[in-house]
Structures are given as structure tokens and as C-alpha cells.
């Protein structure tokens, strides 16, 4: 682990979260593996499927989903399966199995995602060295801001995901303002805030300790497409 990674481990251990600037995050990831397919990786957000469950509440976003398992550091993709959260963690859409379009094989097997998965297992594994097996969920999210309609990155509000650790990594941000991440204690006390604006800007979160939310995004120019593309990787003790 490089010096930036070691610093972030200490910060997460101390306060439950860490923001990493894109340049530093990219350098750290490059020390773990390849990122040569980044243009294709970022472009894959153009092929996300709709979120039909959120549409039922009058909201909109696009996404793809995949599950991986890390056992002793060996990472393998699991059979496609639903995403499930209890209502304790998602009051808006809890207690239902939600099936989304799968992450494509090209993305799942590509250098960028494989590097990010190895990084997550190594980084969060250093915070929980007793854990040999992790269940990993990968989410590609696109939040769109439409004319007269803000986009909601976290429509469930300030929340926990019901996992152990979370990586949120900015992929692309176009023609939007706001989208500020806030971190909270259980009693609502705000611990900090930051805005992911550049590719590779990242948040590392101890989901068992802190809550997080993201403010709505609006279009700077309503006549042009506006979106916020992020990768979310969650780890849960296997």
C-alpha cells in the first residue's frame, strides 16, 4: 500500500470516512493494476438500463449491478442475482428483491474494474484483517438532471447501505451543480462534506459507523444533457 493509501486507512479508522482527490486516487489505483481501458469503462455508462423500481416512486436513474466474491484475495464474479436491502437501511425500497441489468462482461473483466476490486479488497481488508471472504456488490449509477427536474443521487435520503465498507468513485460529471456528499453520525450530526467533481475523486466509507447522503443535482444549462456518473463498490463480510 502506498503512502496515500496508508494515510486514508488511518483517516477511515479515525473518523469513518475519507475523501481522496482524483489525481491521488488514480496514482494509487495504478499501483494496484492497469487502468488502460478507462475510456471504454467510462463510456459504458451510456449503456446503463433503467431503474424500474425507482420509477414507481416518480423518480429516475439508470444503473447496472453485479456481485463478486473475494475469498483469500481471489476475486470471482458470482451468478447474477438481485440487490436486496432491508427497510432498516432503505425505507424507500427496502425488503424487496431488485433485479437490474447486469454489468457487462467487458466492464466486469476489464482492467479498470478488476483493479478497483483488488484495491477495495486490499484497502478495506487492512481495516478488517480477520475477514478472509467478502461479498462485493458493484453498482454503476447515472443520475440525470432534466429541465425543471433535479436528479437525486440518494433518493432514500441520508442512509447506510447495510454493508461494511463503501467506495464511491466519480466517473463523469457533466453540466450539473451540487451533488455534495455529506457524512453523518446516527443522531444526524454532520461530520463532514465534499463534492466529487473530477474523474477518480473518491469517498471511502465505513458503512457500519457513519451515514451518508448526496444533495440533488441540477442542470447548469437546462437545454443540454446533464448527468452524474459514479461507480459504487460495497463490501460485506462473506
Furthest C-alpha separation in the chain: 52
pLDDT of residue 83: 67
CB 70 within 8 A of CB 120: no
d(CA 85, CA 69): 18
pLDDT of residue 88: 57
Cβ atoms < 10 Å from Cβ of 57: 12
d(CA 89, CA 45): 26
Number of domains in the chain: 1
Where residue 169 sits, what CATH number does that domain have? Answer: 2.60.120.620
Q: Is the dihedral of CA 188, 22, 31, 35 positive or negative?
A: positive
What is the span of the domain harbouring residue 144?
Answer: 3-237
**Per-residue 3-state assignment (H helix, E strand, C coil) for the chain:** CCHHHHHHHHHHHHHCEEEECHHHHHHHHHCCCCCCCHHHHHHHHHHCEECHHHHCCCCCCEEEEEEEEEECCEEEECCCCCEEECCCCCCCCCCEEECCCECCHHHHCCHHHHHHHHHHHHHHHHHCCCCCEEEEEEEEEEEECECCECECCCCCCCECCCCCEEEEEEEEEECEEECEEEEECCCCCEEEEEECCCCCCEEEEECCCCEEEECCEEECCCCCCCEEEEEEEEEEEC
Q: pLDDT digit of tens for each residue in the chain (238 aa)?
A: 788 888 999 999 999 999 999 999 999 999 999 999 999 999 999 999 988 766 555 466 899 999 999 999 899 999 998 866 556 545 555 457 778 899 999 999 999 999 999 999 999 999 999 999 999 999 999 999 888 888 887 777 898 899 999 999 999 999 999 999 999 999 999 999 999 999 999 999 999 999 999 999 999 999 999 999 999 999 999 8
Amino acid at each position: 500500500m502506498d503512502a496515500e493509501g496508508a494515510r486514508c486507512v488511518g483517516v477511515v479508522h479515525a473518523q469513518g470516512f475519507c475523501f481522496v482527490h482524483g489525481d491521488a486516487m488514480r496514482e494509487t489505483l495504478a499501483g494496484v493494476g492497469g487502468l488502460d481501458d478507462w475510456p471504454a469503462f467510462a463510456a459504458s455508462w451510456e449503456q446503463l438500463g433503467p431503474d424500474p423500481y425507482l420509477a414507481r416512486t416518480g423518480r429516475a436513474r439508470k444503473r447496472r449491478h453485479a456481485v463478486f466474491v473475494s475469498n483469500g484475495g481471489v476475486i470471482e464474479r458470482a451468478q447474477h442475482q438481485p440487490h436486496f436491502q432491508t427497510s432498516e437501511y432503505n425505507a424507500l425500497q427496502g425488503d424487496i428483491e431488485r433485479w437490474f441489468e447486469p454489468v457487462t462482461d467487458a466492464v466486469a473483466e476489464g482492467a479498470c474494474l478488476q483493479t478497483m476490486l483488488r484495491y477495495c479488497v486490499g484497502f478495506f481488508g487492512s481495516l478488517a484483517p480477520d475477514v478472509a471472504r467478502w461479498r462485493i456488490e458493484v453498482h454503476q449509477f447515472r443520475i440525470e438532471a432534466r429541465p425543471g427536474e433535479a436528479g437525486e443521487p440518494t433518493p432514500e435520503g441520508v442512509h447506510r447501505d447495510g454493508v461494511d465498507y463503501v467506495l464511491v468513485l466519480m466517473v463523469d460529471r457533466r453540466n450539473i451543480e451540487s451533488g455534495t456528499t455529506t457524512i453523518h453520525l446516527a443522531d444526524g450530526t454532520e461530520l463532514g462534506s465534499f463534492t466529487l467533481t473530477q474523474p477518480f475523486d473518491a469517498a471511502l466509507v465505513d458503512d457500519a459507523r457513519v451515514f451518508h447522503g448526496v444533495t440533488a443535482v441540477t442542470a447548469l444549462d437546462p437545454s443540454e444533457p446533464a448527468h452524474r456518473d459514479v461507480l459504487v463498490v460495497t463490501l460485506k463480510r462473506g
